[in-house]
Amino acid sequence: MADDWARWPEEFERRYRADGYWRDETLGELPRAWARRSGDATALVAGDRRISYAELDAEADDLAAGLATLGLAAGDRVILHLPNRAELVTVLFALARLGAVPVLALPAHRRTEIEHFARLSDAVAYVIADRHEGFDYRDLAGELTEAVGSLRHVLVAGEAGPFTALDAVAAAGAAARRRGEAAGPAGASPPGARAPDAGAPRQDPAGVALMLISGGTTGKPKLIPRTHRDYAYNARASAAVAGLAAADVYLAALPAAHNFPLACPGILGTLGAGGTVVLAASASPDVAFRLIAAERVTVTALVPALARMWTDAAGWERPDLTSLRLLQVGGARLDEGLAREIPGALGCAVQQVFGMAEGLLNFTRLDDPPDLVATTQGRPLADADELRVVDGEGAEVAPTEVGELWTRGPYTIRGYYRAAAHNAVTFTSDGFYRTGDLVRRLPSGHLVVEGRVKDVINRGGEKISAGELEEELLAHPAIAQAAVVGIADETVGESICAVVVPPPGAEPPGLGQLRGHLVERGLARIKLPDRLVVLDALPLTAVGKIDKKELRRRLDR
Ligand code: J2J
C-alpha cells in the first residue's frame, strides 16, 4: 500500500512522536490491553448480546484466526458494510490484528458506492449484515461478486445464505487457535516478530489501520487512509475532551462506521476509557430513549436534524433521560436556538463538534461559557493542529474575518487513497488540507462555520457531492444538462434540488421517475433529490460554467 497514500514528512513524524501525540500502538493491540485492564466489565451491548472486554479480545482473536484461515492477510482491503451490530466492532479489531485494512462503508451505501470502493481498493472481501431496515445485503453481495473480480469472500453477520457466516469464521478460528495454529499467515514474519500472545505478526503503528469515506468533494467519494497511531490519538484525545471515564456509557446512535460515532470519541474513545458502548440499531427517539433508560447511557452523539427530533419527542414522550450528561452535536451546523433548548429538554450539556473524516476535530469544551457552546462549533482538539483561514488567493484573512479553512496536524491526512490528481488540488504543497469550509475564528480560537466553497450538499449531516449526483442524472436519456444545489430546509438544514434541462423535444422525467432511475442505477437513497426543477437553460457564468449562485438565488425566491 506504500505508494497509495501519503505519509507525513519525517520532520512532522519526529515532532508528533516526541510531543506524545503518536504512540507505539496499533488498533489491533488495543483490546488486549483493555482486557487486561477491565476484563470482566461490559465493553459492548448490542441487541441481546453483552460482551465483556475479555470476550471482545477473545472474539477478535478468533475472528482474526478464522480470517487468516480463509487466506486474508496483512495489506488486504476489506469492505465493511455493517449497521450497528457487534460484528462491526469485533471484525474491525480482527482485521486490524491481521493488518488487513477495513474500508468503512455506510449502511446507506448501495451498489454504485460499494462497487466504487471495491474497485478503487481492489478489495478481496465484503463483510455485510444479512438484512437491515428492509434491505437484503446478500442480494447486493451477489451482484458485486459478479462485477468485481477482486472480491473473493463475502462474510455475513447473521444468516449467510450462499455466503460464509462470520460465526463460522470465528468458530474455525477458535478451533485453529486451540490446535495452536497461528492466526497470521505462515512465514509472514521472522521468528520472534510475533507478539507473544497475539498470534499474528505485529502491525506497524505508522501503517494504515482503516479507511473512512470522505463526505464527497468533487465526483466520487474518496477513501481516507487513517493510520493506527493517528486514529488511536484521535480517539484518546477526543475521549479526554468529552470527559469520558470508566463509568460512562456511550450510545452509538449514528451509523457506527462514521468517524464521529466511531472515534470522536465514540466507540473507540469509550472503550479506551474503560466505559461501555451501547449500539443502537436506529437513531429514532423511541429506540434511543428506551436504550438510554435501560442502559443508563451518559453520552451520545447526533447530527442536528436528529437532535431536533429528540428534543421535540422528549417534550411529549417524557422519557427517563436522567443518566444522560452530554450530547455531542456535529456533522452540520447546529442552530443557536436548538443549542440553547437541548439542556432543558434532554437534561444534559451540549458539546458542539465540527469534525471531518479527513482528520481535524473541533469541540466546544465542557467548561466553556454557555454562550460559546451555543454559538460556536468549537476549537481544535490538539495544540499541534495548524489552522489557516484564507481568502480565494490563499492569503490569510484578517483575524475574525471569514475565509476558507486549511489545516494540517497529527491526525489530519496528507492525501486521499489512490487519488493523485485530486490530492494535487485538495492539499497544498506544504501539506495543508483545504477543507472547503468557510469559517470565522474568534479570539478565543473557537470557530464559527459560515458556509462552504466545496460543491457539496449537507443534508442533515449526510454529505452529497453535487458532481457525483449530476453525473448520475446525466445518464438519464431525457436529461441533457443537470445541476444539483442545496436549498435551505427547516428539518434537514439543506435539501437536494436537481435542476435539469431536457434535450430538445424530449419530455423530462418527473421527480418520482427520476428517483426511481437513480435507485435503479444503485445509488444510495440518501442522495436522491428532494425537488426537481426543469428549465430550458441553466444560467452560466462569464467563463461558461454553470452559475450555481445565480441558480440558488432563483430557487430561493
Ligand atoms: C457545520 N458543518 C459541519 C458542524 C461537520 C465529528 C463531527 C462531524 C464529522 C463529519 C466528523 C460540522 N457545523 N458542526 O467526522 O468526527 C461539515 C463540514 C465538514 C464536513 C465533514 C466528526 N461538522 N461539518 O461531519 O467527514 O463541511 O465528518 O468539512 O462526514 O461536515 O463531513 P464528515
Residue ranges making up the domain that contains 69: 27-203
Does 59 map to a domain?
A: yes
Amino acid 199: pLDDT: 58
* Residues 88-115: b if buried by 16+ CB within 10 A, e if exposed: bbbbbbbbbbbbbbbbbbbbebbbbbbb
Digit-coded pLDDT (tens) for 503-557: 999 999 999 999 999 999 999 999 999 999 999 999 998 888 999 999 999 988 7
- pLDDT, one tens digit per residue, over 355-402 is 999 999 999 999 999 999 999 999 999 999 999 999 999 999 999 999
- Would you place residue 192 in the very low, low, confident or very high pLDDT band (cuts 50, 70, 90)? very low
| Structural domains in the chain (count) | 3
The CB of 264 under 6 Å from ligand 1? The reply is yes
pLDDT tens for each residue of 29-50? 999 999 999 999 999 999 999 9
For residues 115 and 170, state if they share a domain.
yes
Residue 183: pLDDT band with limits 50, 70, 90:
low
CA of 295 to the centre of ligand 1 (A): 28
Cα–Cα distance, 391 to 402 (Å, whole number): 8
Percent of the chain whose predicted confidence (pLDDT) is above 70: 96
* Ligand 1 centre distance from Cα of residue 437 (Å): 10
User: What Å distances lie between residue 155 and 142, 213, 426, CA to CA?
Assistant: 12, 21, 35
Does residue 59 share a domain with residue 156?
A: yes
In short, whether 455's Cβ falls inside 6 Å of ligand 1 is: no
CA distances from 208 to 252, 361, 414 (A): 24, 19, 13
In a domain, 53, yes or no: yes
Average pLDDT of the chain is 95
Q: Is there a single domain that holds both residue 377 and residue 236? A: yes
Using CA positions, which residue lies closest to atom 7 of ligand 1?
355
Sheet holding 493-501, edge to edge: 481-489, 493-501, 531-534
Mean pLDDT lowest among 186-195, 335-344, 393-402: 186-195
Q: Are residues 324 and 464 in the same domain?
A: no
**Within a domain: residue 7?**
no
CA neighbours closer than 13 Å in the CB half-sphere of residue 49 = 18
| pLDDT for 103 | 98
**238 falls within a domain:** yes
Q: Determine the pLDDT at residue 217.
A: 72
The Cα 557–Cα 552 span in angstroms is 9
Q: What CATH number did the domain enclosing 253 receive?
A: 3.40.50.12780
Q: What is this structure's pTM?
A: 0.95
Look at the chain and count its residues: 557
Identify the domain boundary among 419, 434, 452. Answer: 452
Whose cell is 458542539? That residue is 352
Q: Please check the confidence at residue 206 and state whether its pLDDT lies above 70.
A: yes
Provide CB contacts within 8 A for 414, sequence distance 6+. Answer: 6, 7, 8, 408, 427, 431, 433
Report which ligand 1 atom has the smallest distance to the Cα of 238: 16
Whose CA is closest to 143, among 128, 121, 157?
128
Judge whether 294 lies within some domain.
Answer: yes
- Within a domain: 3: no
pLDDT reported for residue 194? 39
Pair 180, 329 in one domain: no
Per-residue pLDDT tens digits for 423-455: 999 999 999 999 999 999 999 999 999 999 999
The string of pLDDT tens digits covering residues 273-309 is: 999 999 999 999 999 999 999 999 999 999 999 999 9
Q: Are residues 442 and 478 in the same domain?
A: no
Residues 43, 125, single domain; the answer is yes
Asked, for residue 534, whether it belongs to a domain, the answer is: yes
- Reported as a single tens digit per residue, the pLDDT across 457-496 is 999 999 999 999 999 999 999 999 999 999 999 999 999 9
Residue 157 has a pLDDT of: 98
Asked if residue 328 has its Cβ within 6 Å of ligand 1, the reply is no
The answer on 171 and 48 residing in a single domain is yes
What's 473's domain CATH number?
A: 3.30.300.30
Q: How confident is the model at residue 105 (pLDDT cuts 50, 70, 90)?
A: very high
Q: 289 and 309 in one domain?
A: yes
Q: Is the Cβ atom of 377 under 6 angstroms away from ligand 1? A: yes
Task: Give pLDDT, residue 190.
Answer: 40
> Do 320 and 464 share a domain, yes or no?
no
pLDDT band at 216 (very low <50, low <70, confident <90, very high): low
237 occurs within a structural domain: yes
Mean per-residue pLDDT, 46-56: 97
3-class SS string, 333-351: CCCHHHHHHHHHHHCCEEE
Over residues 109-140, the pLDDT tens digits come to: 999 999 999 999 999 999 999 999 999 999 99
- Claim to verify: residue 483 and residue 441 sit in the same structural domain: no
Q: Does residue 500 sit in the same domain as residue 445?
A: no
First-to-final CA distance of the chain: 50
Final residue of a structural domain among 408, 427, 452:
452
**Residue ending a domain, choose from 203, 219, 245:** 203
Nearest CA to ligand 1 atom 33: 356
The C-alpha cell at 81 is 458494510
**What average pLDDT does the segment 13-21 reach?**
98
Higher pLDDT, 180 or 236: 236
How far, in Å, is the centroid of ligand 1 from the Cα of 452? 12
* Residues 15-46 as b or e (16 or more Cβ within 10 Å = b): ebbeeebbeebbbbbbbbebbeebeeebbbbb
331 C-alpha vs ligand 1 centroid, how far in Å?
A: 4
